[in-house]
Structure 1
Amino acid sequence: MDATTRPHRIPPVMGVYAEKHKVFQLMQNMAEALLIFRPEDPIDFMIEHLKKDNDEVPAVFVLGPPAAGKTTISRWLCKHLSATYLNPQQLLKNKLLHRSREALQQQERQGSVSDELWAALLEDRLADVDCVKLGWVLDGFPETRAQARLLQALGVAPRHVVVLDAPEMVLVERNLGKRLDPVTQEVYHTTFDWPIDFTVQKRLIKPEGTSAQDTAKRLLESHRNIPDLLRTYPDNHKIISADQPCADVFAQALSFVQSRFRSEAPFSPRVLLLGPPGSGKSLQAALLAQKYGLVPVSFVDLLREEVAGRTALGELIKPSFESGYPVGDSVALRVLGNRLAQPDCIACGWVMHGFPRDVDQADLLRRAGLEPNRVFFLHLPTEVAAQRLCQRATDPVSGDRYHTIFKPPANEEIHLRLRRNPRDAPPRVEKKTEVYDRQVCDLEDFYEEALFVNADQDPYTVFEYLESCLVTPLPVTKPGIRSLAGSSSRQ
C-alpha cells in the first residue's frame, strides 16, 4: 500500500480480518518486545513470542497510598480476570525464587530490601508459567520512580496502571481500623467490613504499620512518590477516587483494565446502529457522519431513492412500498451492496441503520462481505419510544419539526397548523416496536462483540459513548461478557 496515495481504497474484508485477528497490534507488540530485549536471533525470539500467545493477558499495577484499597481491588481484579495476584511480601516468602533467601537476609540485616533485588525478584516471578499465560496484577509496587525505572530496564512494563486516591482523613480512619486474617490473608475493617464468622473474628490481628504515627509517615512518603510514578507511566494510568463504595471503585478499575488504548493502525469505521423506533439511530448516524466524515447509510432512504429514480431495482421495490410489506432480502442486499461498494464508503467508512432486521438478514450481510466492525444496540423503554415519536409534528408552512413536550411551538397559530406523520400514529409505532422486540435477542446473540447503550439519556451523552468506542479498539472481555455503556442495561 503506497502511503502517499489518498484515499486508501482498502477492501473492507482486509480491515475486518486485520481487526478480528489483531494483526496490527500483534506486529506492534513484537516490535516493542524486540526493542526492549534486543535478542541476538530476532526470528527465534518472535517465534517464541507468538507461542506464548499472551499479548492480551492482564499486566496491571495497582498503586496508591496506604488504606486506599489496593489489596481488595487487586484481588477482585484477579478473581474476575483469572489473573495471578502478586505483592512484595509474596515475593519474599516464595522459596521457589532463587533470590528470595538473599532478600530475606538483607531485610533482616538492613531492615529493607534494595530496589535492585526487588526488581530481580519480580522479574523471576513474572517468568513463571501462571504469570505468562494468565497475566498478573501487582499490588502496591513499585513505590518510587527509581523502582519503576529499574522495572522498565528489565522489560517489566504494565499495560494498565490503576492509581487509587482518597482524602487523608479517610485514609487514616481506614488504616487505624484495618485487621488481617493470618490464615487467608484477607483484610477486614472494624467499622466498614467486619466478618460475620465468629471464628474469623477471633483470629484477626492488627497488621504492622497501622498505628497513627506509622500511617502518617507512610502517607507522607506516598504523597512524595506518587507524582513521580505517574510521570513514569504518563499514557497508561488512571486515577480513581477510593472515597466511594468499593463496588464502584472496582467497576471503574475493571472497565479501565479491560480497555485498549487507541491504535495507529489504519481503520475505516463500518458502524451499525440497531435499536427500536425512536431510539435516535438517525441522529447518532448524522452526528458520527458529521464529525468523522463517515457516509450515513439509511436503508429506508436507499429504498426510496431507488423508487424515486425509477431504476430496475426501484420497480421491484415499489410494490412492497405500496402494499406495506417488507422488501425481499435479495433485493435489499443488492441495494445495500451497490451503495456500500461505492468509493466513498470504502475509503471513508460508513454508519448504517435500518438493516438488518433479523438474523437471516445479518447472516446475508456477513456472507456478502459487508460485515460491520462496530455494532451498537441502542436500548430504549417502549413507553419512552412512544412518547418521542407519537408527540412529534411538522409545520407544513416552515417545515420546522416540533414536539409537544420537548420542543413545543412558540404560538397558538403554529400549534393549530401542525401535522403529524401517519407513521407516528400510536398503533403503527407499537407494531414496529413489537417486531423489533421479537428479533432483538437473536440479533444480540449473532453480534457477539456488540456494545449496548442506554438511549434514554441526552443524545450528546449517547454520542460521546459511541465516539469513544469508535476511536479505540474494542475492550478486552472474558467470553460471554458483554461490554456496556456506563449507564446502560439490557432491557
Structure 2
Amino acid sequence: MTFFPNNKQTLLSNRLNKQQEIKIPVSAILIHPSILLLLILMDETVKPLRIPPQMSVYADKHNIFHLEQSMLSSLVIDQPEDPISYLISLLRRSSMDIPRVLLFGPTAVGKHTVAKKLSAELRAVHVSIHSLLEGQSELSVQARQYTLKEQELPAELLVRLVQQRLNEIDCFNRGWVLEGIPQTRLQALSLQQAGVIPEHVVVLEAPDDVLLERSQGKLVDPLTGDVYHRTFIWPVDDTVAQRLEEGRSPSETQRLAELQRYRCEATGLSSAYQHVLKIINADQPHADIYQQVCCGQLLRSVAADGSALGDEIQSYLDDGRPVPDSLVLQVLEERLSRMDCSCRGWILHGFPRDLQQAKSQQESQQPNRVFFLELTDDVCLERITLRATDPVSGERFHAMTRPAPSSEVQNRLKTRPEDSTDTVTHKLSQYRIHTAALQSVYPDAYHIDADQDPHSVFEALESRLTVY
C-alpha cells in the first residue's frame, strides 16, 4: 500500500483532471505503485525516478504486488473508519491466523475425506490436484493434456498451478488445505522455493494390506463428491447412502505401482518438512484420525509460531535437550484453557513424566481419568530394539512381528540410535523410578495390560471411560 504526501496528491489530481477519458474520483488516491510511477513519469516537471531492478525482483519473489492488491480490495470492500489500524490487523491475521496446511499420504489412506472436513472446520480453501485441473486457466488446460496422456505433471508446471491458485483472493483471505500435493521431494523443494510454506504438514500412514483393501469398495456421493467405503466409512444419513455410486478403482497392478512410487518418495518428502511434520496412523476409526490431525504436536507448533516463547522452546529442540518443566507447563496450561479443550475435553499422552510435573499440573488442570499402560521390560525391549526402517521405502519392519519381505530389504534396514538396547534400558529404568511416585499422585488410576493386541487395549481403555 502506498500513501502520497500532499504535493504528489495535488500533482496526481491535476493530471487526472486533465485526462477526460479517465473517470477516477480525486479522492481515490490509493493506487498501484506501477500507476503512480507512470503518472509521475508523464509529468515533465517531476524529476524522473530511478527504480533499481532488484526492487521488482524482490516484489515478485515475495508476492508484494499481490499482497497490495488483496489488501486494497479488502480496504475498499470493508471501508473501515480507521484504515491504518485495519491494515495492521489484516497483516497480523494474514501472517498468524490464516491456516496453511499440507496433507499427504499413500493412495486410499483417506486424504480427501480428512482434507475436506479439515478445510470446512477451518473455513479454509480445499485445494487438490483434481480441483487444480478443473480450472479454466491456461496452466490448467496445459496440465490436463498430461493427465489425458497418463503422464506425470512436470514439477515446474505443478508448482506454477499451485502458486496461481494460492495467490487468488479466497486462499489469501481464508487460508488453504493442500491435499495430496506435493508427491515428490523435488516438488516439495520447488514449492518451498516458490514461497509455498505450510504451517502444518500432516502425513497419513497405514500398512499396504490395509490400503489395498480400502482401495476396493470405494463409494462416492455424486452430489457432494464425498468419499465413503462399504467397510470403513458409511454415511449416517440413509438418504446419502441410497444415492452412493461406485467410485473409479484402479487395477491391482496400478494400485501396487502407486504404493511403490509413494514409498520410494515418502522419506524424502517427510524430510523436506521435518520441522512441521506430524505422522498420523490412519489404520484406526476415522473420527480418531481427524482428532489427531487437529491436535498437532503442541511444543513443535509453539516453537514454530515465531513468538518469544516459541524461540526459547526451539533452542532446546535444536540442541536435543529436554524442554524445561516451566516452559512445558506454560504451553500446556495455555492450550488446555482454550475453548475446544474446555468444551470437548482433552487427552494427554506421556505427560506428566515425574512427580514434580504431576504436582505442578494439578495446580492448574486436573485429569478425571488416568491410565497406566503396563508392560514388562522384556516385552518393551522386544518391541523397540527389534524394529528397523527401510531407508528406500520408508517402511518400518520388526524382526518378529513384521519381518522384511526379502534378504535385500533386510540387509539395508537401519535402526535408530534411540532404539538401541542400552538407550531403551536406560529409559525404562528412569520410567520405573518415576512410576511409583506418579502412582501415589493418582491412586485411582486404571492399570491396563498392554501386552495384548491394540484393539483389546483400546477396548479396555474405552470401557473405563464411561465408569463414574
Taking structure 2 as the reference length, the TM-score comes to 0.48
- Larger relative contact order (Cα-Cα within 8 Å, sequence gap ≥ 6): 1
Taking structure 1 as the reference length, the TM-score comes to 0.46
